[in-house]
Amino acid sequence: MLTLASWWAHNVSLFSSQNIMVSKGTPKFFLSEVTAKRFNSEGYEKSTLTVDSIINSSSEESKLVRPRLIFHESAASKFTVTADAGITQDNEKINLMGNVTLQVSSEPTSPDTSVATDFATVNISSNILRTKHNATITRNSLVGFSDGFIYDAHKGLLNLLAKVTLTYDD
């Protein structure tokens, strides 16, 4: 019983903005240590989602604890997104919250780019990650800040939206 109570308390802190539990029905299922993979029509792996746990309490959404998405369909780049929590929408979008980190790996000779924010939405089918929240961008000696970004994996393009400040330290 103590394990169940601590599990509920942990999930309330992740998914409730005011740490207030709002019951919209009991969970329909609880899955632990889940890996889900998507494949293209040729049978090649497009993306992998791993989570510590999934809670489903409605037909429209599932709550994810510590999601990690890896997209490797695009030749332009491979990217990984991690967060403390996430909420799925219609199996195509995931709202990520808490320590959201985008890690973009390009060619083997290029340095990785890392972008951190507190909230972002990833569209799985289009391989686009976006937010209007503050973001911190790092790449080798480059550090930057932006009010939002859009990352398009098909194009390998990171678009910084507003109030962009970049600093290069050599």
Amino acid identity at 28:
K
Helices (H), the chain: 2-15
Distance CA 19, CA 62 (A): 18
With bands split at pLDDT 50, 70 and 90, how would you rate the model's confidence at 25?
A: low
Distance CA 116, CA 123 (A): 17
With bands split at pLDDT 50, 70 and 90, how would you rate the model's confidence at 2?
A: very low
Least confident of 52-56, 58-62, 146-150, 164-168: 58-62
Ordered DSSP codes for 20-66:
----SS--SEEEEEEEEEEE-TTS-EEEEEEEEEEEE-SSS-EEEES
> Taking residues 50-67, what's their average pLDDT?
80
Q: What are the residue ranges spanned by the domains of the chain?
A: 32-168
Please give the C-alpha separations between residue 146 and each of 40, 77, 162, in angstroms, as whole numbers: 34, 21, 6
What is the SS3 assignment for 110?
coil
Distance CA 24, CA 1 (A): 21
Per residue in 106-135, pLDDT (tens digit) is: 667 778 888 999 999 999 888 899 999 999
Domain 32-168 has what CATH class?
A: mainly beta
With bands split at pLDDT 50, 70 and 90, how would you rate the model's confidence at 35?
A: confident
Summary mean pLDDT of the chain: 79
Distance CA 161, CA 125 (A): 22
Give the tokens for residue 2.
Answer: 């103590």
pLDDT, position 104: 84
Least confident of 6-15, 29-38, 72-81, 90-99: 6-15
pLDDT, position 53: 81
Give the tokens for residue 127.
Answer: 């391989």
pLDDT, position 84: 93
